[in-house]
Structure 1
């Protein structure tokens, strides 16, 4: 069984409004991002995975959000990450940045299994991700990294909840090992959170369905996708592209 996604918050000086005060969101107005961090970087058995093109930046100022028109997600920033930061900052920072424009209060949290409450709607998306085997240290890239979202809005209390699960893959050399955690690139996180925002906006807030973002970071994986080693395939949600149930 794959352990729950764990987080560690890093104390910083400029917390994102409405987010965990021990986290900081760092926007950058120009420049690209070419780095991946382990989402489960707090897990005791797996330290953060840092790549050579990681850069350090100073903490920036977070501006006030502007409420967008229906079916249009707010202008998205590009992220450069400090080597001390976990991917929680990107996931929750991007979520808070977009979802604070809704009239209801929304929260985001990890889960290990789909909720049993039938009132939740399910949405899945795909991205390019990296994996590293805990047993043999083999690393590989997949263009079929999967994330599942389950969302529900209580209109009486004006509170919405989003649960998400990042699906893993097993190593080809160690097929009996646990599923390895996916390492997500910041721009892929931005993409799937934007798709989630637009989907919830369509379902609950009258958005006109916007164009689907199916772009991914470029890459050429050395091997084809193996459904026998894919956790999302085993759970039956490894279809390509957007899915809403």
Structure 2
């Protein structure tokens, strides 16, 4: 999963003042609990899930994604920590928390928005576009709040 995110990042962040940025997953990061000198960007997107027990698949239009990012100016290395909140199968009694699978176009839009935030927070750039990204990725799919990890933790911004 992280290779898809890093591939998109390399395309979108190739001109970030010569600094190198890398995304790593971190299932321990929590919304609004930032380490000193780190910034946060939160978004949501459509993703698909597959139950590891019954193999059922489903889509959700509201999968919460949290990014924490920091630029080490001395080493010119940027680190992005990514947490994608999970969902569980609504038909299995002993359901596991399943990782989301984002379509490439949705990942690209999320990374584009993240890079805009990095430009503002780390480099003091203004967003000259004066608009949000036009989203052309897939959005449709229900959101099962009872089976959403972010909803259970009380942090899903789009809970039903």
Query: Above 0.5 in TM-score?
Result: yes
Instruction: Provide the rounded CA distance (Å) in 2 between the counterparts of 1:219 and 1:153.
Output: 32
1:212 equivalenced with 2:132 (yes/no): yes
What is aligned with 1:111?
26
CA shift, 1:133, in A, is 0.8
Q: Residues 60 and 144 of structure 2 are in contact (CA less than 8 Å); yes or no, is this contact kept in structure 1?
A: no
What is aligned with 1:151?
69
What is aligned with 1:125?
43
Once the two structures are superposed, residues 4-31 of structure 1 have per-residue CA deviations (whole angstroms, 9 ceiling, x without a partner) of xxxxxxxxxxxxxxxxxxxxxxxxxxxx
Q: Give 5+ residue unaligned stretches, structure 1.
A: 1-38, 40-86, 241-245
Q: TM-score, normalised by structure 1?
A: 0.56
Q: TM-score, normalised by structure 2?
A: 0.82
CA shift, 1:189, in A, is 0.7
More strand by share: 2
Question: How many residue pairs were aligned?
Answer: 152
What is aligned with 2:15?
101
What is the aligned-residue RMSD (CA, Å)?
2.2
Q: Give 5+ residue unaligned stretches, structure 2.
A: none
The answer to which structure, 1 or 2, has the higher relative contact order (CA under 8 A, 6+ apart) is: 2
What is aligned with 1:231?
149
Distance 1:92 1:154, change over 3 A: same
Which of the pair has more CA radius of gyration? 1
Q: Residues 88 and 96 of structure 2 are in contact (CA less than 8 Å); yes or no, is this contact kept in structure 1?
A: yes
